[in-house]
């Protein structure tokens, strides 16, 4: 069994329930002592943009802002796929603390070296 977990999110503001659930799973994995990375694709790149998570809530009441704050506090990498972010006019300067841009090649490396949960 691997101690590494990669959460791949492809939804953001378009599906607050799924995107917030993915962040919640990342938090739970971190709490359980796993090495966690969150990789954002498609609409999920908006989660890494400053201010967006402040308004993202699931039907359960979970807020993306609180979940992200936990992940940031514990140094969980949050990686926004560069082409998806650029196509939405999101640059490095727009990203929340602890987030950065990354490539598909990086996602493949993460996936080959960890358990992957995709939402």
pLDDT digits (tens, 9 = 90+) for 52-67: 999 999 999 999 999 9
Could you give the CA distance from residue 17 to residue 119 in angstroms, rounded to a whole number?
Answer: 10
For residue 52, the model assigns a pLDDT of: 94
For residue 1, the model assigns a pLDDT of: 62
pTM for the complete prediction? 0.95
pLDDT digits (tens, 9 = 90+) for 83-96: 999 999 999 999 99
pLDDT digits (tens, 9 = 90+) for 3-33: 999 999 999 999 999 999 999 999 999 999 9
Sign of CA dihedral 27, 30, 32, 34: positive
Can you name the CATH fold of 4-118? Hypothetical Protein Ychn; Chain: A, (3.40.1260)
Domain ranges of the chain: 4-118
For residue 2, the model assigns a pLDDT of: 77
Instruction: Give the H or E element holding residue 31.
Output: helix 16-31
The SS3 call for residue 109 is helix
């Amino acid at each position: 069994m691997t101690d590494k977990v990669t959460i791949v999110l492809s939804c953001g503001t378009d599906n607050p329930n799924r995107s917030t659930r993915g962040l919640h799973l990342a938090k739970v994995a971190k709490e359980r002592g796993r090495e966690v990375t969150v990789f954002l694709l498609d609409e999920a790149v908006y989660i890494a943009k400053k201010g967006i998570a402040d308004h993202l809530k699931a039907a359960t009441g979970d807020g993306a802002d609180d979940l992200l704050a936990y992940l940031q506090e514990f140094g969980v990498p949050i990686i926004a796929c560069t082409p998806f972010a650029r196509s939405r006019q999101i640059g490095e300067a727009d990203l929340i603390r602890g987030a950065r841009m990354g490539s598909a090649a990086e996602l493949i490396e993460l996936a080959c070296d960890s358990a992957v949960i995709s939402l």
